Amino acid sequence: MDKAKLKAKLPLILLLAFIIFTIIFPLIVKDRFLLSILIEAGVMCLFALGFAAVFRSGQFSLGQAAFLAVGGYAGALLASKAGLPFWLSLLGGGLSSAIVAFLLGIVILRMGGLYFSIATLALGEIAIIIAKNWDSVTSGMTGIAVDAPIVKIGELTINFATTKLPYYYIIVLLVIMAALMFWRIDRSRLGTVVRSVAVAPVMSEHAGIHLMKYRVIMFTLAAFVTGVAGAFYVYYLSWVGPPLFSGAQSTVALIMCVIGGLWSAVSGPIIGAIIVSYFGTMMQIHLEGLRPLVFGVLVIVLIWFMPNGLVELQYRFPAWVKSLFKKKGKVPDAPA
Amino acid sequence: MKRKFIYIALVVVLVLSIITSCAAPAAKAPAPPKILKIGSIMPFSGPASMWGESIKPVMEIYRDLINADGGWQVGDDKYIIELYFADGPIFSVQADAAAARTLIYDKQVSAIVSYFGVGYSAVAPICNAEKVVFNTSTISMGAYSASREPYSIFGFPAIEMSINQAMAVMQAFPQYKTLCWTATKGGNVDIEKIYAPVDEEIQKKYGVRSIRLYYPEGTTNFTPYLIKMAEMGAEVLFSFGTPLEIGLMARQRYQLGYKWPVAANGAILDTKIVKGLAGSEEAMQNICGDFCYPWLLKKVQIAPRYLDMANRIREAYKQKYEGKEPYAGAFGVGVTMMGQYLEGVRMAGSTDPDQVMKVLRGGTVETFLGKYTLSGNETYGSPVVFGFPCAMSIIKGNESVYLNEEPLWDVDHPLVNVTDLIKE
Amino acid sequence: MPPAIFIDSLVLSSMYILMASGLVLVFSIMGILNFAHGQFYMLGAYAIFYLFQQAGINFFISLALSAAIVGFVGILIERYIMRPIGQPIQAVVVTIALISVFEGLITLIAGPAPHSVTSAFPGNVDIFGVSLSSERLATVVIAVILIIALYLFIQRTRLGLALRAAAQQPVAAGLFGIQVARVSTLVMGIGCGLAALAGGIMAPMFYVDPWIGGQPLVMALLAIVIGGMGSLGGAVVGGIVLGMIGSMLAYYIGFWSQLISFGIVIVILLFRPQGLFGQSEK
Amino acid sequence: MPLLKLDHVKKAFGSLLALDDIELSVNKGEVLGIVGPNGSGKTTLLNVISGYYHSSGGEVLYKGRKISGMRPDQIARMGIIRTFQQNIVYWDTVTLENVYRTCYLTAKTNYWQSFFNTPAWVKENKELWAKASEIVQLFGLGDFSFSLAQGLPHGKQRSLGMAMALAADPDVLLLDEPLAGMDAYEMEIVLANIKKIIERGVTIILVEHNIKTVLSLCPRIIVLNFGHKIADGSGQEVLKRQDVIEAYLGVE
């Protein structure tokens, strides 16, 4: 086989290897704490993917956590009040979040740039105030408890309360599905159009692109994914309440996207989300009071050296390795 | 060149941190014969970290003193106690849950005590799934259900206590008849749900009228709310806010020319901070708050071994921290909630969580604060009233004066003159 | 309406205006939203705590010193962190990271416990038979003087002219010999100094802890959106509107005023997507 | 029936009347030059036609249909494409893709086909790229196909702007000062390109400051001054008129 072909296939092979690795990983490493971090990282992956999708349509949303909340509450209500099964509640969470996003989007996406950001910030706060005070639906601060699903497949009964492994596989599946969707969008005509809208709105509009349509599409899609993530997260924690969805999470999503690399639609947010949630939790456990300082400094340092995010490493790392070997050859030459 | 070194350093740091974090659970010390592991989720980062930082050392001293005595007697065995702390900044559910998981999965604790964050409902399922006793405060509300959570107990009756405290304050100031409960709406405590039902009872029993006013979260400027309260006829404020909010409320009330008492809920009232926030000697008059040194009170009966231990803890603390007195609230939440679990283990004669819970549910245990009776009810929380001292301190002049609790529901003893209560 | 409420709304307004004008200045020149603006407020409050409370320096001198120190910190950050990074989104993330850096650093230095600052203007004064806190009155007076001074600086001085030019036409300003990079460094300093002043005058009235910056930032963000991004007048109007809501409306409708202050932003943006005083894009 | 008709179009900014009662009709295949001193409302006129501004009064008719009040993208999809005075390009990508993106306007397959990469889309996509590449070559940008559009020299960016407009297969092309800020060499290329477009039979409205260029390209010229149309006719006719000369001399 020729080298060029192999090289072209390399990313695909690496991706497949990575997916297989994620699938067998919990079977080899039986660390339940790590598993729980990975599950939360998965939720954050979906969240960051949604955030990146909105961002890449040229809008900077500071209230994405509100869609996590809408999805979470919808999922919890569908599960506990309507008694829907797990899968349908996830879907319901995503759909209701998407509907809310669509209705809000056609109104607030008219605002440009920073006005939109701050409007979403305000909406996020309003969502939390509503969640806290709409007792008849959200039960205020008490929140809604969600029973862990019990799935029966033939003879096999999986009780989600006793084992967290199913959650891991479900979130991996969800992340792969969302990643595939956003990857396809990014590579297809829709993605190109959305990028055009983001980088040169006036130009795009005069080239026949209806700005609002594409902004709303991306906002709604992102909200759908975020809503599914919210519903899943609520199932995983088996409870939903207002403190879950603080506005600060939206800025965390931004940090994740930038650390991973904003100019890649899929790999950047996913890498960023995994890195930030893993090290964030590790710092919380090991550093305690020092955590904010170390976290902040690390973020700044990372951005300083890799302003385009960790995805940049795929170009930088091979070049770096090469330069290391080159230098070694050069050193004896230098004195001469 | 320079950049390269920084990259190398960065990669090394990343790799090292991955290794250490993965290796941490694996590298366990060889276990000595009998060990009882207790975990505690406390805020060590974020705005509440001062409470975690001041409670932690007191709990550690208590652990050290028990271990110095050869361990905790359970049946025929003596257990060495190991105490693990995890950071749970009280406003982050995710962080609380992560803290609970690391305590349970990595440290393999058999109980989590003294937790008071907002993530109760996220932590409880983790504990209950792993049969870890979870001792929390009734203030960390959530969707509690006795059937789903057989291993949750509410060892710190913050809510029950606050009703008693409010009544104590009303009786310390008999000239006032209107009590204004105030809190952030949708904050930690839903005062509407919990206290509205007792309004009538309070009115009947003490002739005290209750009114309510809420303010938004994060409020530092209480002026509009205080003026509104005054118009509603408030004479005593009972706040569920943080000490910061109490102090600011007291100060702004004084600036507006109101002299009402401002009372605070909870064991987290550090008088020094409140005094500072109130701004001046006059402004801080009539601030009432919890004070968890019940041995200072005449009325409270504390088991001798606990009184003894309390004094030893205070001694050790003073030695360790240059003569400073340990933070009073640490006896209220930290050490007492740890003690309740230890009492449960002693009484059950085993560390088996089922046995411990059998003893604790509806059982009566001795603590640093006196005798506790935990409810066996399937209802929310644990109305602990018998013997719970609920000491209030009221700032008068330069010193604080203490008065005893006056339980609302069960024991009906008359209020003792405030000045008689301080032991000489 | 009780007169105390009126003074109270002025106090809140002046805090929001000082915060918002700093934020607007930085935004209009550098094109980025400084999310760590609230932390400069916090730094200013701590500076007052150390200078005025601990060292016993005169209140006004320590106010000036705190503005200078925090402004210098802002300049350092602009010069050595933001400018090398360059790209706006990355710079925004840096400001978000700076929030935890400052909070963590101050926690490390001063501890997590809150501190209080003695009032520089204790007691009450009687005006037309109404007893008002002299501390609050003084705060309002200082804030008004500061806002007027800022206005004069921007409208009447050469430097102010350079600022306005750089804000409106960075490229053209560059051609006319205004060093935009230097101006943005300066503006970062002024913006951070303003935040520090706001923190400084509010510190004796409220309290000082490492987390006090969050609320003022959110209010300043709302204020600049209500007023219209990029205009100081807008920041003033936005600050006054929010101050009124935070105090007067709070007096009439209680805690729902918070919902109103978020809601009003959305309502205003729906009818005027560029804020009350913002320039329309078209 | 004229292709494009402006009927008493007014545009006011506050109290300033940028366009006052403009009457204009353009026939299919016509090349119309709009000249006038600075601030006379030339660009405003283009903005009103292309939908960037809503007219304050009167209406714009295209093929007998009222288009004033429509969104720019609707107008663009009807076949009226404009270029910009400033250099606006998609800065995130290369020259070729800039043109390719505008080709989308003519694509027949829908987004779903693109999402699932159906054979129809693959086939059309190839055609679109070929078309883009052809237009890029036409405008002499072939050497820059794969360099970032943002980094192109000024003249090339202007050519790119026109290439992008042409890629949308316009019926009416509105050119807003295509020659502004160019050196003589670049100007020559752009002029050649405009001539190429004219040869394709596209209706063109050219706004230009440089009256010589307009004369060389446009058989018909209108002159604007302070928002009024003061002349309409062939180049020779227009230049003879006293008010036109005054308008020009008065400013320059």
Per-residue pLDDT 10s for chain C (282 aa) are 788 888 889 999 999 999 999 998 888 888 888 999 999 999 999 999 999 989 989 999 999 999 999 999 999 999 998 888 878 888 989 999 999 999 999 999 998 888 888 888 877 788 777 778 888 889 999 999 999 999 898 888 888 888 888 777 766 776 666 777 888 888 899 999 999 999 999 998 888 989 999 889 999 999 988 887 777 888 899 999 999 988 888 888 888 888 898 999 888 888 887 777 766 544
User: Residue C15's closest CA among C213, C269, C159?
Assistant: C213
Enter the CATH code of domain D4-249. Answer: 3.40.50.300
Residue of B nearest to C6 (CA): B224
Other C-beta atoms within 10 Å of D248: how many? 16
C interface toward A at CB cutoff 8 Å? 27, 33, 35, 81, 84-87, 89-90, 92-94, 96-105, 107-108, 112, 218, 221-222, 225, 229, 258-259, 262-263, 265-266, 269-270, 273-275, 281
The DSSP code for A243 is G
In the complex, which subunits touch C with 3 or more CB pairs below 8 angstroms? A, B
| Residue type for position C137 | L
Chain A interface includes B93 (CB < 8 A): yes
Q: Which of A180-189, B114-123, D118-127 has the lowest mean pLDDT?
A: B114-123
Alpha-carbon gap: B319 to the closest alpha carbon of chain A (Å): 25
Min Cα separation C122/chain A (Å): 36
Distances (CA, A) of B328 to B310, B343, D192: 11, 21, 88
What confidence category does residue D122 fall into, taking pLDDT thresholds of 50, 70 and 90? confident
> What domains sit in chain B, N to C, each tagged with a CATH number?
34-157+301-389 (3.40.50.2300), 161-295+392-423 (3.40.50.2300)
As given in the structure block, the two tokens for residue B408 are 């609302």
Asked if residue C230 belongs to a domain, the reply is no
The answer to whether the CB of B85 falls within 8 A of the CB of B56 is: yes
Q: Say how far apart CA C106 and CA C110 lie, in whole Å.
A: 6
Confidence of residue A112 (pLDDT cuts 50, 70, 90): confident
The Cα-based distances of A238 to A76, A268, B123, B142 in angstroms read 9, 30, 10, 12
Taking the CA atoms of residue C210, residue C212, residue C216 and residue C221 in that order, the dihedral angle to the nearest 10 degrees is 50
pLDDT for residue D169 = 84
Taking the Cβ of residue D164 and every Cβ of chain A, the question of whether any pair is shorter than 8 Å is answered with yes
Position C2 in a domain? no
* Test the A interface: residue of C42, C257, C269 with most A CBs within 10 Å: C269
Catalogue the E-assigned strands of A80-206. Answer: 144-145, 150-153, 156-159
Query: In A, which residues are within 8 Å of C85 by CB distance?
Result: 303-304, 307
Residue of B40, B101, B104 best to disrupt the A interface, most CBs of A under 10 A? B101
pLDDT of the residue at B421: 36
Give the up-direction half-sphere exposure of residue D224: CA atoms within 13 A in the CB hemisphere. 29
Give yes or no for residue B401 having a pLDDT over 70: no
- Residue D251's pLDDT band (boundaries 50, 70, 90)? very low
Strands (E), B131-217: 133-137, 152-156, 178-184, 209-215
CA dihedral B59, B61, B63, B67 (to 10 degrees): 180
pLDDT for the residue numbered B413: 29
DSSP β-ladder status, D65-66 and D16-26: unpaired
| C36 belongs to a structural domain | yes
The pLDDT, as a whole number, for residue A217 is 93
Residue range A189-234, pLDDT digits in tens: 888 889 888 888 888 888 888 888 999 999 999 999 999 999 999 9
Of the candidates C120, C230, C107, C118, the residue with the CA atom closest to the CA atom of residue C168: C230
* Partners of residue A284 in chain B, C-beta under 8 Å: 45, 87, 95, 98-99
For residue A229, which of A280, A267, A174 has the smallest C-alpha distance?
A: A174
The number of helices, as runs of H, and strands, as runs of E, in chain A is 14, 4
Q: Which of B67, B58, B107 is nearest to B86 (CA)?
A: B107
Q: How far is A267 from chain D (nearest CA, A)?
A: 18
Question: Do A220 and A101 touch, CB atoms closer than 8 A?
Answer: yes
Collect all residues with Cβ–Cβ distance below 8 Å to B365 and sequence separation of at least 6. Answer: B339, B340, B343, B344, B347, B371, B372, B374
pLDDT for residue C142: 92
Residue B6, pLDDT score: 60
Gap from C43 CA to chain B (nearest CA, Å): 16
Count of CB pairs separated by less than 8 Å, A with D: 75
DSSP secondary structure letter of residue C115: B
Q: Does pLDDT of A330 surpass 50?
A: no
Confidence class for position B392, pLDDT limits 50, 70, 90: low
* Chains D and A: 3 or more CB pairs within 8 Å of each other: yes
Token code pair at residue B72: 């905790």
Q: How far is D50 from chain A (nearest CA, A)?
A: 7
Identity of the residue numbered C101: V
Query: Is C253 among the domain residues?
Result: no
Q: What is the structure's pLDDT at B424?
A: 36
* Number of domains comprising chain C: 1
- Checking if the pLDDT of B417 tops 60, the result is no
- A242 contacts B106? CB cut-off 8 A: no
| Closest residue, chain A, to C264 (C-alpha) | A122
- Average pLDDT of chain D is 82
Q: Say whether C274 and A251 touch across the interface (CB within 8 A).
A: no
Confidence at A297, pLDDT banded by 50, 70, 90: very high
Contact D81 A200 (CB under 8 A): no
Task: Determine the pLDDT at residue B33.
Answer: 62
Sequence-separated (6 or more) residues with CB below 8 Å from residue A90: A75, A228, A231, A232, A235
C269-C274-C277-C281 Cα dihedral, nearest 10 degrees: -160
Q: Which of A259, A291, A296 is nearest residue C98 as measured by Cβ atoms?
A: A296
Q: Which residue has the higher pLDDT, D120 or B292?
A: D120
Q: Could you tell me if residue C231 is inside a domain?
A: no
A16 or B27: which leads in pLDDT = A16
CA dihedral sign, ordered B58, B59, B62, B63: negative
Distance CA A198, CA A112 (A): 11
pLDDT at B409 over 50: no
Contact C27 A290 (CB under 8 A): no
Residue B406's pLDDT band (cuts 50, 70, 90):
very low
Closest residue on chain A to D118 (Cα): A188
E strands in C73-154: 124-127, 130-133
DSSP structure class, residue D93: S
Contact flag A290-C108 (C-beta cutoff 8 Å): yes
Question: A60-69, A167-176, D189-198: which range is least confident on average?
Answer: D189-198
Considering only CB atoms, C225 lies closest to which of A118, A258, A262, namely A118
B103-115 pLDDT per residue, tens: 999 889 999 997 7
Interface of D with A in 95-134 (CB under 8 A): 97, 101-102, 104-105, 107, 111, 114-117, 121
For residue B171, what pLDDT is reported? 75
Contacts of A185 in chain D (CB under 8 A): 115
Look at residues D150, D153, D146 and name the one whose alpha carbon lies nearest to residue D186.
D153
Instruction: Give the tens place of pLDDT for each residue, A97-107.
Output: 999 999 999 88
Q: What residues in A contact D90, CB-CB < 8 Å?
A: 195-196, 199-200, 203
Contact A300 C97 (CB under 8 A): yes
Q: Collect all residues of chain A within an 8 Å Cβ-Cβ radius of residue B25.
A: 31, 33
- Assigned domain for C223 exists: no
Predicted local confidence at residue B15, as pLDDT: 59
Average pLDDT, chain A: 86
The model's pLDDT over B86-129, given as tens digits with 9 standing for 90+, comes to: 998 877 888 899 999 999 998 899 999 977 777 888 888 889 88
What does the pLDDT read at residue B411? 32
Closest CA relative to residue C3, chosen from B279, B145, B223, B332: B223
The residue of C101, C206, C260 whose CB has the most chain B CBs within 10 angstroms, and thus the best one to mutate to test that interface, is: C206
In a domain, C241, yes or no: no
Would you say residue B17 has pLDDT above 50?
Answer: yes
Q: Which residues of A touch D121 (CB under 8 A)?
A: 189
Mutate to test the interface with D, among A180, A196, A206 (most CBs of D within 10 A): A206
Question: Which residues are bridge partners to A239 per DSSP?
Answer: A145
Cα separation, A30 vs C122, in Å, equals 63
What confidence category does residue D65 fall into, taking pLDDT thresholds of 50, 70 and 90?
Answer: confident
pLDDT above 50: residue B387: no
CB nearest D76 (choices: A188, A193, A208): A208
Whether C10 maps to a domain, the answer reads no
* Residue C138 lies in domain: 21-211
Cα D88 to Cα D98: distance, rounded to the nearest angstrom: 11
**Cβ–Cβ contacts within 10 Å for residue A265, how many?**
23
Cα dihedral A232, A234, A238, A240, rounded to 10, equals -170
Q: What is the mean pLDDT of the segment spanning D208-222?
A: 81
**Which distant-in-sequence residues (6+ apart) come within 8 Å of A121 by Cβ?**
A62, A63, A247, A250, C218, C221
Contact yes or no for C29/C187 (Cβ under 8 A): yes
∠ CA D65-D69-D72, rounded to 5°: 95
Distance from CA of C186 to the nearest CA of B (A): 29
Neighbour-count burial of C90, counting CB atoms closer than 10 A to its CB (0-12 exposed, 13-18 middle, 19+ buried) = buried
Cα A112–Cα A118–Cα A119 angle in degrees, nearest 5: 75
**CA C273, C274, C280 angle in degrees (round to 5)?**
115
> What confidence category does residue D230 fall into, taking pLDDT thresholds of 50, 70 and 90?
confident
